[in-house]
């Protein structure tokens, strides 16, 4: 028997709801390691984007099965401490900002473009920077799957995948920032982006960590509102 409210939803609205439910399921203990791979990849993309915008050169990106990631880059010789800190601090905000972009595109009816953009960015990362075997296999699989969905996918499938990606980036980015801010991640804050940034700017690592959480909270709230607009449209 179908619930009265659900029976009035269009296939695209049902797909959006299904994608968000899938994203929430990804936060569960059994699924989080797999879901966090997306958060890690976009985290590293944040470092890549900042380094390039500041005139630097990205040498390689590694993505590992345990959800760890590493971006190796070099900034211009004249780059100051602020530039060095900016690249280090650009990782944690990236998933929330990407999720916010996805929510805006979903609200505007551009789900297929969002999935296509994700496929294109993954392909660029693969071709130019990802250099370890696990990262290459993962990126190739994701780029191919998202590319096919964006090109040939049934519209509700496209919306569902777009919603799942958006939800995982918004909620997963918040969870990763919260874990970092409370010092519950493996190794604590030692050696983290926030700790390394203190070598460039005299700001405590704990402050950076809580600023990451604040940004993730804002993007989660705004992104949630945009998703509600998408659901109502």
Helices in the chain by DSSP H: which ranges? 4-7, 11-25, 32-53, 81-88, 93-107, 111-128, 133-152, 155-181, 193-197, 205-232
- ∠ at Cα 52 (51, 58), nearest 5°? 70
Q: How many domains does the chain have?
A: 1
Q: Is residue 130 in some structural domain?
A: yes
Which tokens sit at 31? 């699924």
How much is the pLDDT for 195?
81
Q: Is residue 4 in some structural domain?
A: no
How much is the pLDDT for 116?
98
Q: Is residue 1 in some structural domain?
A: no
How much is the pLDDT for 182?
83
Residue 130 DSSP symbol? B
Q: Is residue 163 in some structural domain?
A: yes
Range of the domain at 197: 10-232
Could you list the pLDDT tens digit for every one of the 233 residues in the chain?
345 456 688 999 999 999 999 999 988 888 888 899 999 999 999 999 999 999 999 999 999 998 899 999 999 988 888 998 999 999 999 999 999 999 999 999 999 999 999 999 999 999 999 999 999 999 999 999 999 999 999 999 999 999 999 999 999 999 999 988 887 665 555 568 888 888 888 888 888 899 999 999 999 999 999 999 999 88
Residue with tokens 């060095």: 84
How much is the pLDDT for 189?
55
């Amino acid at each position: 028997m179908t619930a009265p409210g659900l029976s009035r939803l269009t296939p695209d609205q049902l797909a959006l709801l299904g994608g968000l439910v899938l994203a929430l399921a990804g936060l569960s203990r059994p699924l989080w390691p797999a879901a966090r791979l997306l958060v890690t990849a976009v985290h590293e993309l944040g470092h890549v984007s900042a380094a390039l915008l500041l005139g630097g050169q990205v040498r390689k990106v590694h993505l590992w099965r345990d959800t760890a990631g590493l971006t190796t880059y070099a900034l211009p010789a004249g780059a100051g401490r602020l530039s060095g800190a900016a690249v280090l601090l650009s990782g944690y905000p990236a998933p929330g900002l990407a999720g916010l972009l996805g929510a805006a595109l979903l609200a505007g009816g551009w789900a297929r473009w969002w999935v296509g953009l994700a496929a294109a960015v993954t392909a660029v990362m693969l071709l130019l920077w990802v250099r370890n075997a696990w990262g290459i296999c993962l990126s190739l699989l994701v780029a191919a799957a998202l590319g096919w969905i964006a090109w040939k996918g049934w519209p509700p499938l496209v919306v569902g995948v777009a919603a799942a990606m958006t939800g995982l980036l918004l909620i997963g980015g918040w969870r990763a920032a919260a874990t970092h801010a409370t010092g519950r991640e493996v190794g604590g804050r030692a050696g983290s982006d926030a700790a390394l940034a203190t070598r460039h700017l005299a700001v405590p690592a704990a402050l950076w960590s809580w600023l990451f959480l604040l940004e993730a909270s804002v993007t989660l709230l705004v992104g949630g509102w945009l998703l509600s607009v998408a659901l109502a449209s």
